[in-house]
Amino acid sequence: MSTATAHPNIALAKYWGKRDERLILPATGSLSMTLDVFPTTTTVSLTDADEDSVVLDGETLTSDEAARVTTVLDLVREASGRREYAAVSSTNTVPTAAGLASSAAAFAALATAAADAYGLSADGALLSRLARRGSGSACRSIFGGLVRWNAGDSDDTSFAEPLAWAGPDLGMVVAVVSSARKSVSSREAMRRTIATSPYFPAWVESNAALLEQMSIAVDAGDFTLLGELTEQSALRMHASMFGAVPPVRYLTAASIALFDAVGELRASGLECYATADAGPNVKVLCRADDAQAVSNRLAEIVPNAEYRVAHTGTGARLVEEEAE
């Protein structure tokens, strides 16, 4: 029996669109910050049952719902040369209202626990590749701090790596404006953007270039450039979705109000930058020292949101079982 824990990550340079759906190879690389809040903990036990079972927050998933978990387990079985099925049990601490994607933390924890349970000796790159097959963004949650997912062009070459950040400690304020379930999954929304948006090719070309600039900003510890590129990547990603038919519009009036509020804070000398993913909630990148002030000021300007302050967190890791 092996247990692992992992945290969600927020992309600063976004991943949006796949060049290969089955292998989950992205159209471009991406760069993220792993958070120190909302960990997922997952236990994998080998069983003599005749199929895998998956329990999420106490609820048993159907085999359809568990298909992505089984995909990762099949890969770990293949790599380890073992055949036993597994019982997987996972606990999420993301409050449902937080609207933060939990799949990244979930599949990073799963890959880490499953590799250990099956006796597969796996380095970070292999764990990242295994997590990727469950959910693309999960490959980044294997590592802590700032992380770059190199797009690669094959299963072997598409994985994440941790980056050395020479700048000030980072903070992220999560602004939750809605806890409603999203109407279009990100997987479906990516497909639709690729198939119908005239802006998708421009998104791919511009984000690949932006990622290289952002990597230079990370090397240099340049917080201002990191932040400016973060907002650009988010808005360009959403612009590519606006161009889809029918359009994919995750941003609401409240999201836009938060982007405006972040601009106001910047103008007043409190440096921070907004980003948003496949939903209306907004995440605000800032210096760790400013995070509480950013949260307080945003709450004054946009009171109809819930705020949570986060910092950079650690990557996926095995946890010792408590002694009976």
Residues near ligand 2P0, by CB under 6 A: 11, 14-16, 24, 30, 101, 103, 135-137, 186-187, 277-278
CB of 297 to ligand 2P0, least distance (A): 26
CB closer to ligand 2P0 out of 99 and 171: 99
Q: Please, are residues 11 and 150 in contact by the beta-carbon 8 Å criterion?
A: no
DSSP reduced 3-state for 308: strand
CB of 267 to ligand 2P0, least distance (A): 27
CB of 140 to ligand 2P0, least distance (A): 8
CB of 202 to ligand 2P0, least distance (A): 17
CB of 289 to ligand 2P0, least distance (A): 26
The DSSP output letter for 138 is G
CB closer to ligand 2P0 out of 46 and 114: 114
CB closer to ligand 2P0 out of 112 and 207: 207
| Closest CB to ligand 2P0: residue number | 136
| Strands of the 146-150 sheet, one edge to the other | 9-13, 30-34, 146-150, 159-163
CB closer to ligand 2P0 out of 2 and 207: 207
State yes or no: cis peptide before 168, omega within 30 of 0: no
189-218 burial, b for 16+ CB within 10 Å, e for fewer? Answer: bbbbbbeebebbeebbebbeebbebbbebb
Where are the strands (E) in 61-134, listed by range? Answer: 85-92
Bridge partners for 6 per DSSP: 40
Q: Please, are residues 149 and 159 in contact by the beta-carbon 8 Å criterion?
A: yes
CB closer to ligand 2P0 out of 46 and 282: 282
